[in-house]
Amino acid sequence: MSVFEELKKIIVEIKDIPEEDIQLESKFAEDLEADSLDIVEMLMLLEEQFDIQIPEEEAAKLKTVKQVVEYVEARINENA
């Protein structure tokens, strides 16, 4: 499953919103009403799913779906 698909699945689970509301451009706070704990949980689930580590200082910079997808893809490629 692609990182975007996985992330959408996680956001649907956490926020209980329709998948079609989640776009690459979606901002977590403004568009998805995700609070800081939602984002922490989301990133932890991605870490587990893709076997990567996301340092806190990096996590703090991730504000949109697209930023997370690109960040996680980069970490996966480093591991490969």
Residues with active-site annotation: 35
Rounded (to 5) percent helix, strand, coil in the chain? 70, 0, 30
For residues 7 and 46, the answer to whether their CB atoms sit within 8 Å is yes
Q: Under the criterion CB under 8 A, does residue 70 sit at the interface with another protein? A: no
Using the minimum distance from each CB to another protein, give the nearer residue, 2 or 55. Answer: 55
How many chain residues interact with another protein (CB under 8 A)?
9
- Single out the segment in contact with another protein by CB under 8 A; choices: 9-17, 22-30, 59-67, 69-77: 9-17
Q: Under the criterion CB under 8 A, does residue 31 sit at the interface with another protein? A: no
Q: Under the criterion CB under 8 A, does residue 51 sit at the interface with another protein? A: no
Amino acid, res. 78? E
What is the C-alpha R_g of the chain?
Answer: 12
